[in-house]
Structure 1
């Protein structure tokens, strides 16, 4: 369980009267939006439960429309997912993209299906933190700005994707609505739960790219392995390549790569999507084939390119009588830390301190995985993520949210938006 030390009553330190009214509006609407969160959590929206994802989208669309947004459902048939919710409002002021997602990792047959009150401060449920709670933080913040008459000072587009947990393909089609909104926007705010620490947000996120290595060796009786005219076989060549990658890249800060599943033998197959493989071989036969599927995470496009160059070079320098083919698949791009992102964090941290919640610092990229904002950050001047409802146990049946943080996160987001409008 997430254990936080929060002040019994949070003093407002340096807000102007308008911002004070925004914070009070958040407190006044928290109970209502807690009910919205419960309704959303009680709708199963595993990524492949298309009707469920759409139903959650419809629920949130009603909430956006009540705040004066126009909404659109982007059908996901072209990328084999339910689709995305897009909500738009405003014609003046800075252009801000708000990012959330509708789907969860919990399928329709998961035993974890319902909102549950755990104790005075904690609730449990599928997607309650990741990230139906983040969507509700977004809406609660917007409702407070609306009550204060401030929404007309912003141009807002909210994109709530239906495939964050299991990306649709092709990626350019699946991401079109999000990328189009990012090209339009000046600023992107992600309402994921980050590393579930209210004292950090993400100014950088590592990308996630899949790779596949196919190795071929010369089959023969195992007693002849290592002969100059036979070679080491596919299994040893695979091991050599993986070891050389590890030695060459292990010291690179914020870079990780992992061989997730591998097979080696006489006849092998390995499905890149399901991760299931078949293998036939004998202990007295040198392996003819080896396959491995893995992933690589880098904090910047430059770091990813450098690592890929090293991996290709090692894989191409083969032992005698062996060969290897390395391929990379398109995935989540890195979101590098930029000066604009750091400036946006500084503004957010100031807001947090003036609310009495203390400073906010960048999360270690090793503690924050790829997310929707990764596809948007490269198109905007400023971007941060991790503004959502925080908790613990994400992607497990122990997922919980700390409900004390619902009004806190909404106040931070609302006043950040107000100050962006003032700029």
Structure 2
């Protein structure tokens, strides 16, 4: 559910490190979702957005309270941006993220208050996040009786052309830190996407060569140059039509990448120094394939950043969503920020 962003500024003492704290207020669960209640089971709190990102907001507030109690908040320069559409960024993206980007340009460091990743009992720090963008492939063909399929006059039809494209993606696109997916397909005598592009409708008969086919998918990459290279490959594949067919691909960007940088790693090194002081284990950097995109990526080109400053979670984006770390973990993460 989307809402307006919340912005807060604590000016602090001139010359101090300018910190940007990032979180979000929305969840993936719309008002129509039956998952609208919270339930506690021991140290686990289940509820819509319990970890993503209500838990993040709670830890952010706890960190600021800890700083105030320690007397370090008074001179600190802190800006908070809690977006209201992180799960489905508004359009145009430049307008939807203008306040966040402006804050990133003013900051010296950015901390992303989304979930800590724990794998096999090991805590990981996130110094990189991949992009998230989607695309729509629209295919056309000549409609005719199915007895003419594959002939020079009729050609292959829109569905075979779409199948060629998808299989070519599978064979030709793979490279490190890149994933791509087709999540929705429709084809036939007629085919159309729903208004929100989350569904599709189609009609047809088994003995009619389909004149239209549509597919929607997403892809995720670690650097902007890789995004451009992959898009060029996809365009070339789409343009290599089967006889009597046509196709086009339209891209829609949402989240840019947060590539791993020396500055990001330096922040994780600083965090690990604090971990050692607290008697906590050192946190290696997380494989970026292990987490999705996030708002910190919009400021990654302007400021060093670190993600995963809050309790870990399970069942994200499902009715089993829950914040799974005990309160002591949250308190430790709050100290990290102070």
Shift of the alpha carbon at 1:221?
A: 1.4
Q: Over aligned residue pairs, what C-alpha RMSD do you find? A: 1.6
Residue 9 (structure 2) pairs with residue 85 (structure 1): no
Change (3 A) 1:118 1:292: same
Q: Which has the higher contact order (CA 8 A, sep 6+)?
A: 2
Match of residue 113 from structure 2: 191
Residue 140 (structure 2) pairs with residue 216 (structure 1): yes
CA distance in 1, matches of 2:156, 2:226: 32
Match of residue 160 from structure 1: 82
Residue 332 (structure 2) pairs with residue 411 (structure 1): no
CA distance in 2, matches of 1:194, 1:304: 26
Match of residue 72 from structure 2: 150
Contact 1:131–1:388 (Cα < 8 Å) also in 2: no
Match of residue 66 from structure 1: none
Shift of the alpha carbon at 1:152?
A: 3.5
CA distance in 1, matches of 2:13, 2:170: 52
CA distance in 2, matches of 1:242, 1:389: 38
Residue 125 (structure 2) pairs with residue 204 (structure 1): no
CA distance in 2, matches of 1:295, 1:168: 17
Match of residue 290 from structure 1: 213
Match of residue 27 from structure 2: 104
Structure 2 counterpart SS, 1:362: coil
CA distance in 2, matches of 1:258, 1:236: 18
Shift of the alpha carbon at 1:106?
A: 2.4
CA distance in 1, matches of 2:243, 2:319: 50
Change (3 A) 1:115 1:230: closer
Q: Which moved more, 1:393-402 or 1:92-101?
A: 393-402
Match of residue 94 from structure 2: 172
Match of residue 181 from structure 2: 258
Residue 58 (structure 2) pairs with residue 136 (structure 1): yes
Contact 1:123–1:403 (Cα < 8 Å) also in 2: no
Shift of the alpha carbon at 1:168?
A: 1.7
1:138-164 deviations in Å (ceiling 9; x for gaps)? 111121111222123431101011111
Shift of the alpha carbon at 1:109?
A: 4.2
Residue 266 (structure 2) pairs with residue 348 (structure 1): no
Contact 2:116–2:311 (Cα < 8 Å) also in 1: no
Structure 1 counterpart SS, 2:251: strand
CA distance in 1, matches of 2:161, 2:315: 39
Which one has a larger percent strand, Structure 1 or Structure 2?
Answer: 2
Shift of the alpha carbon at 1:125?
A: 2.3
Match of residue 245 from structure 1: 169
Which aligned segments of 4 or more residues in structure 1 are displaced greater than 4 angstroms? none
Q: List gaps (5 residues or longer) in structure 2.
A: none
Shift of the alpha carbon at 1:351?
A: 1.3
TM (norm. structure 2) is: 0.93
Match of residue 390 from structure 1: 312
Shift of the alpha carbon at 1:400?
A: 2.1
Contact 2:89–2:254 (Cα < 8 Å) also in 1: no
Q: List gaps (5 residues or longer) in structure 1.
A: 1-45, 48-81, 415-423
Contact 2:194–2:201 (Cα < 8 Å) also in 1: no
CA distance in 1, matches of 2:97, 2:109: 18
Contact 2:135–2:251 (Cα < 8 Å) also in 1: yes
CA distance in 1, matches of 2:276, 2:72: 22
Match of residue 62 from structure 1: none
Contact 1:272–1:293 (Cα < 8 Å) also in 2: no
Which one has a larger percent helix, Structure 1 or Structure 2?
Answer: 1
Match of residue 360 from structure 1: 283
Match of residue 309 from structure 1: 232
CA distance in 2, matches of 1:122, 1:202: 23
Shift of the alpha carbon at 1:361?
A: 1.3
- 186, 190, 198: which one pairs with 1:275? 198
Contact 1:196–1:392 (Cα < 8 Å) also in 2: no
Shift of the alpha carbon at 1:374?
A: 1.3
Change (3 A) 1:233 1:111: closer
Change (3 A) 1:403 1:112: farther
Contact 1:203–1:337 (Cα < 8 Å) also in 2: yes
Structure 1 counterpart SS, 2:74: helix
TM (norm. structure 1) is: 0.75
Q: How many residues align?
A: 332
